[in-house]
Amino acid sequence: MGALDGKVALVTGGSRGIGRGIAERLGRDGALVALTYAQASKEADEVVERIRANGGEAFAIQAEFGQRGDAARLWEAFDARTPRPGVDIVVNNAARGSNQDLASVTEEEFDKVFAVNVRTPFFIIQEAVERMRDGGRIINISSGATRLAMPNIIAYAPTKSAVDNLTLHLAKLLGPRGITANSVAPGFVDTDMNADWLRNDEEAWARSAAISALGRVGEPRDIADIVAFLASDDARWITGQVIDATGGSLI
C-alpha cells in the first residue's frame, strides 16, 4: 500500500525539473497524478508513461498560465479528464523566472511574472477548494530567494514571498476542514531550466554547492521527497509553514 493510495493530485508544471520529480514521486506513492505542461508535450507524455510503467495512474493537461481565466480553464480540463472526481493534493509548482536587475525590469515583465507566479496559484486554489476533499493538502513551491538577497532576480523573489503569505492565510482558513497548506522553498537545484548558468558552468556550480551546508547542488528528488511527506498523513499536524529546502544555504 502506498502512502497516497486513493488520492488524486494536481501538479502544475509537472513535465520537467522539480515538477517532474514531484509528479513521479506522488505517482509512486499511489496517487492518481494530473500534471500540467505549457509547451513540453513530449516531456509530459514521458512523465505520464513513467508513472504508468511503475504501476501508477497519470494524465497530462496542456495549460498556459498568466492570462485571466487560466485557472478556470485548467479545472474544466481536469474535470473532463479525471477518472475520479475531486482532488486531494494540489501542488503549485509552475512558475515564470525573471533574471533581471532593478534597472532592467519592465512593467510588462513585472506584470507577467506576478500573473504566473501569484495570480494563477491564487485562483487555482480558489477553484480547488470546492473540489478538495476534507483532509486535503495544498503545497506551494516557493524559493530560498525569499530570505537570500539576490538583486538579479528582484522581480521574481517577491512573487514567492507573496505565495508564502498566501499559504499562511490558507492554513488558517482551511484548517477547520483538516486541509493543510504549506510552502516548500528550494535553493539551487539542477534542472534543465538552470542548465545554461548552473549545470554548464563549472564555476557557478562550485559556488552554488559551496553555499549549501551540505556542500552540493540540490536535485529534483530532494524537493520531491519533501513534498511527498507534506502530502502524506504523516504531515497532518504541519500547516502554515515554509519548509526550507535549500540544503542549509548560507546558514
By annotation, the residues acting in catalysis are 156
How many angstroms separate the CA atoms of 111 and 220, rounded? 28
The angle, 0 to 180 degrees and rounded to 10, between the axes of the packed helices 120-129 and 70-81 is: 40
The H-or-E segment that residue 44 falls in is: helix 41-53
Phi, psi of 134 (to 5 degrees): -55, 145
| 102-to-113, 118, 151 alpha-carbon distances in Å | 14, 20, 7
Beta strands in the chain (DSSP E): 8-11, 32-37, 57-62, 87-92, 132-141, 180-186, 242-245
DSSP H helices in the chain: 17-28, 41-53, 70-81, 107-114, 120-129, 156-174, 202-211, 220-231
